[in-house]
């Protein structure tokens, strides 16, 4: 049996090595267009910044090492340019010599990845992109002669590059056409990220787009012109379907290669994995593009099993992802509020701001966590978090909970590892579960930051239960202040009618809400407190 793998990085090489572990007798050929295989794409921005100083550390394997250990026939600078599906032959061009040769296959795996989007902006040819080692070399060379850089796009790669370009001492402008960076999170969490980016002297331009790239400048849609010795386009990626489409494989509605749950394309002898293929969304089963390394690697392993006749079924995706931004962890899983709202799906949002570990143990910092759950079923729809530490663990726990079919209320009962240096006896994930349980059981009603204005306009009393000092430092306009510890004796000061109570993060507000509710007042607690409200309003 001969299997040809097209693309020798995340998905392709996972497939090739697993194939070998399953079948010692198979002939496995890997063709890779670039000069390297099995390189660490996700490490590339950190080589630009000097965090990974040695270029060779990005090269996890070579064709030789893969040949020795796995008996793979790995060819670099080799591009699959055509497939004769009837004869089961792939045409491969040697990019050094230009020579073409044919390789017969019994099964083929396509893992060609995704191409950076390059919008038709005048001067775009000067913009570099970051996809492979060759691109990295070009950016490293450019950085050496540059004092300023414009990064177009505030997604994962854009923010990573901004951090790494600052580490190299460049003046950085980060240009994002929408009003927030990091699309997977909602604006009130993105506000925290914006603040951090600006604290590190990145000139963050939101809501504007690059309109013209000049020799050492970029003109933006608001008319401003910024200095840019170097320009990097990090606008996003598109599935690399050129070969697949040309040979008539079915392309799906989102523009990725269509595959079934055994990762077979519309030609059963040709399989496809990774960034190039469409996946099924775990919430609504729709076709989605999720260009992430974890998915590509898992699919690479799975496709080998499928080819070898093992029972497999590719699972729907949540898009669980994380990125580091100047010391902040920014992570998300599942759907965010923007997407739920656009799809008109009912949801309940829960915001909390707990410590990353016990407050009495040195080094704790504040986390910002948001859970989205479906009222009634309390199915977990998504979660996101921003903070200096511990976000990775919480988002991964929630992602696992979603995969295991746990509800938001089940989070209350998770038994999670604890010692003061690592967490809290009441883990933030438990807290999210308790909040969900309180809401589900009718013990408390909450209000979202963007609903405060309407509630106030409808006559609700805004009651700030923080200390007088906190209140004096900033409060929601129109709020009266009665600190929680004085609430019982000053109850008569609260005007009649509905009450919206709030504190800094929602915890004291919850106690106040319970107190008032038990005294017969109609009361709602501001979810996530003043902190979430001010982040949301300011976003």
Ligand X SMILES: Cc1cc2nc3c(=O)[nH]c(=O)nc-3n(C[C@H](O)[C@H](O)[C@H](O)COP(=O)(O)OP(=O)(O)OC[C@H]3O[C@@H](n4cnc5c(N)ncnc54)[C@H](O)[C@@H]3O)c2cc1C
Name the residues annotated as catalytic: 503
d(CA 160, CA 200): 13
Burial category of 255 from C-beta neighbours within 10 Å (exposed 0-12, middle 13-18, buried 19 and up): middle
CA 167 to chain centre: 22
| Shortest Å distance, C-beta 321 to ligand X | 6
| Shortest Å distance, C-beta 129 to ligand X | 9
Nearer CB in complex with ligand X: 44/210 = 44
Nearer CB in complex with ligand X: 131/508 = 131
Beta-strand pair 368-373/380-387: antiparallel
What is the SS3 string spanning 116-149? ECCCCCCCHHHCECCCCHHHHHHHHHHHHCCCEE
E-strand ranges in 257-314 read: 270-272, 279-280, 287-288
- Which residue has the closest beta carbon to ligand X? 274
| Shortest Å distance, C-beta 243 to ligand X | 5
DSSP states along 212-246: EE-SSEEEETTS-EEE-SEEEE-S-EEE--HHHHH
d(CA 162, CA 354): 28
Nearer CB in complex with ligand X: 123/236 = 236
Tokens of 365: 């910092």
Tokens of 533: 């409200």
Q: What angle do CA 406, 409, 411 make, to 5 degrees?
A: 65
d(CA 47, CA 53): 6
Quick one: DSSP state of residue 388? Answer: S
What are the C-alpha distances in Å from 231 to residues 124, 208, 211?
9, 16, 13
Q: What angle do CA 285, 16, 93 make, to 5 degrees?
A: 100
| Shortest Å distance, C-beta 497 to ligand X | 50
Nearer CB in complex with ligand X: 7/382 = 7
Residues of this chain that interact with ligand X (CB under 6 A) are 6-7, 9-12, 31-34, 41-42, 44-45, 79-80, 111-113, 130-132, 157, 240, 243, 274-276, 291-294, 296
Nearer CB in complex with ligand X: 79/427 = 79
Nearer CB in complex with ligand X: 113/354 = 113
Nearer CB in complex with ligand X: 97/441 = 97
| Shortest Å distance, C-beta 88 to ligand X | 17
| Shortest Å distance, C-beta 325 to ligand X | 12
What are the C-alpha distances in Å from 313 to residues 112, 184, 263, 303?
21, 26, 8, 9
Closest to 44 in 3D by CA, of 209, 199, 172, 157: 157
Nearer CB in complex with ligand X: 138/416 = 138
| Shortest Å distance, C-beta 163 to ligand X | 13
What are the C-alpha distances in Å from 19 to residues 5, 26, 29, 299, 310?
10, 8, 11, 12, 11
| Shortest Å distance, C-beta 39 to ligand X | 8
């Amino acid at each position: 049996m001969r299997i040809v793998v097209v693309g020798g990085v995340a998905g392709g090489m996972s497939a090739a090595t697993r194939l070998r572990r399953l079948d010692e007798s198979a002939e496995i050929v890997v063709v890779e267009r670039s000069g390297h295989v099995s390189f660490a794409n996700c490490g590339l921005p950190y080589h630009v910044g000097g965090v990974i100083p040695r270029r060779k550390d990005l090269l996890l394997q070579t064709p030789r090492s893969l040949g020795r250990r796995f008996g793979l026939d790995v060819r670099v600078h080799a591009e699959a340019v055509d497939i004769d599906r009837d004869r089961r032959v792939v045409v491969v061009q040697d990019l050094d010599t230009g020579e073409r040769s044919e390789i017969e296959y019994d099964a083929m795996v396509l893992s060609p990845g995704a191409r950076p989007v390059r919008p038709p902006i005048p001067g775009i040819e000067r913009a570099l992109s970051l996809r492979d080692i060759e691109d990295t070399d070009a950016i490293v060379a450019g950085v050496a002669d540059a004092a300023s850089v414009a990064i177009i796009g505030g997604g994962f790669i854009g923010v990573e590059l901004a951090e790494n370009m600052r580490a190299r001492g460049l003046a950085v402008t980060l240009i994002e056409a929408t009003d927030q960076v990091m699309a997977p999170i909602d604006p009130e969490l993105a506000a925290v990220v914006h603040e951090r980016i600006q604290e590190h002297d990145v000139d963050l331009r939101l809501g504007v787009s690059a309109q013209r790239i000049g020799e050492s400048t970029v003109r933006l849609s608001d008319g401003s012109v910024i200095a840019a010795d170097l320009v990097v386009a990090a606008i996003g990626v598109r599935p690399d379907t050129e070969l697949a489409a040309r040979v008539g494989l079915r392309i799906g509605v989102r523009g990725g290669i269509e595959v079934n749950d055994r990762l077979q394309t519309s030609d059963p002898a040709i399989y496809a994995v990774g960034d190039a293929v469409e996946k099924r969304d775990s919430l609504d089963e729709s076709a989605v593009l999720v260009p992430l390394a974890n998915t590509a690697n898992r699919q690479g392993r799975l496709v080998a099993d499928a080819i070898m006749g093992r029972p497999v079924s590719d699972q729907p995706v949540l898009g669980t992802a994380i990125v580091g931004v100047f010391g902040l962890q920014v992570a998300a899983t599942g759907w965010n509020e923007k997407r739920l709202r656009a799809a008109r799906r009912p949801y309940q949002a829960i915001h909390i701001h707990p410590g990353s570990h016990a407050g009495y143990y040195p080094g704790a910092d504040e986390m910002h966590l948001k859970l989205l759950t479906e009222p009634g079923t309390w199915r977990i729809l998504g979660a996101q978090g921003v903070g200096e530490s511990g976000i990775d663990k919480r988002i991964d726990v929630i992602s696992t909970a979603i995969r295991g079919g746990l509800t938001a209320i089940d989070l209350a009962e998770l038994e999670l590892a604890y010692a003061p240096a690592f967490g809290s006896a009441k883990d933030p994930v438990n807290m999210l579960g308790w909040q969900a349980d309180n809401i589900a059981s009718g013990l408390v009603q909450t209000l979202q930051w963007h609903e405060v204005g309407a509630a106030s306009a409808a006559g609700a009393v805004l009651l700030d239960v923080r200390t007088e000092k906190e209140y004096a430092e900033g409060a929601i306009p129109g709020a009266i202040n009665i600190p929680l510890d004085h609430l019982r004796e000053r109850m008569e000061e609260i005007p009649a009618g509905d009450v919206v109570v709030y504190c800094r993060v929602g915890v004291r507000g919850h106690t106040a809400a319970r107190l008032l509710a038990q005294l017969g007042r109609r009361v709602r607690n501001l979810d996530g407190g003043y902190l979430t409200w001010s982040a949301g309003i300011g976003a």
